Structure 1
Amino acid sequence: MKLDSLLQLGLDERDVTVYRALLKLGPASIREVAAESGVNRGTTYETLKQLASRGVVSYFPRGKRRVFQAEEPERLLQLGERRQQALSQAMEQLRSEVIPELKQSQARFNPGNVRFYEGDDGVELVLRDILDSAGKDPERGYAVISTKTLRQHLYRPFPNFTKQREARGIRVRVIAVGEGGDEAEYAERKWLPSEADADASYIAIYPPKVAMITLAARDYPVVVIIDSAAIASTQQLMFDTLWRLL
């Protein structure tokens, strides 16, 4: 039985073991559940109390003892729906209140505005950051300067990036250094001639951020993200000027 979906509900393996034992037994005492599940009696009792607080286990008195009973498995769906609703409310509060308030107290520029990443994970982080940021104004989109030598490595960790960008209608203008580059929807491309292969470089301008990717030894990606409206504005001005000249 795959436990991933149950773990996402906030249950752990012990919770699942105890619940399944109780489901198999029907109404049962703590001692019976402990014997069936293989979990010690004290831990079984604490686990049953936690499951009862989540609404997937109930109990009733039988003489001087307390008897536990597993609720129908469909109750897990309700647990998931409550968790999903709480997460949605938390996300909305983050967007509308918490993040704006935190950004007001953030220093205009500090060393934390420059971030360094390495490897394919760093590249994927940049690409997802571009989608999230540019997706707020897809018509404006973002701008890219990219060399031929880096293109083959760029989408390795995020092969469906372009499809996601197109699905969200995010526009991009690309200045390609050297030949090549695939045509895509919502994308404009101009070429900057290069007599020889330029050093691997990818610069993405998506105000207020600028991301730069290059390759170290053995094609190992190195990533820098600068979160600065001033720097992004200057880079955008330089890009727009070069775009008009090509």
Structure 2
Amino acid sequence: MINEVLINLGLSEEEVDVYTSLLNSGGQSASQLSKTTKVKRTHIYNIASSLVKRGLVSQNKTNGTTIFVPLSPDKLLSLAHDKKDEAERIESTLEAVLPNLKSKYNLAENKPVISFYEGKEGVKKVYLDTISEAKPILALVETTKVDLEMYKWVTTEYVKMRVKNDIPVKAIVASGLKTKTYIGLDKTELRETKEVPSDKFPFENEINIYGNKVSIINHKKGSKLLGIIIDNPIVANTFRSWFHLTWSRL
């Protein structure tokens, strides 16, 4: 318990070892302290000198040898008061800068995290993130101009995973050759779809809104496959509000 109290006052374990040895055995040289403590002999002098600076130990020479002598433990109360005063100064300083720190925290907390993905495997990771989140999806979908390999993967493997995980979708889909088939599978694929004319609303990308995230996918046939995930509740809720407004008017 004594060692713990001394450490809480700011002494290191080595300082505690040397100080308690001096209290128990009286004045000692560095050579003697290396035998009565666990401190390495090469460190003894520095540790003892540190205790001298703290006012817990004095030093004097006897026959040319430096002897370290313990002073009254009453000095420990002074250390405790100093530590208390320092804590109060730190608290006062912290209170002064806390509003600025909170402001920085709020900015960081609300700053969107944006992740980019490329190629077929990258775009697959964007889709699979909706499975990991396991939240209902609001989607803006184009089925006609999609890369054939991606379309096959999405309509078979991805949809099976989504259905297995009981993740529903509300989709606004641009009309096209595959739209009728797409809508025809709504019930079995846990989806509710509304169609818009592609000549008036030519969707170039797919957008998925889920949880606190929004993904934007370019899987257009003949173009570079890209995916973006924006992780931010404010952005997601803005897109979600926009989707519901559009949905309610179709």
Calculate the TM-score normalised by the size of structure 2: 0.48
Calculate the TM-score normalised by the size of structure 1: 0.49
Work out which of the two has the higher radius of gyration on C-alpha atoms and give 1 or 2.
2
Q: Which has the higher contact order (CA 8 A, sep 6+)?
A: 2
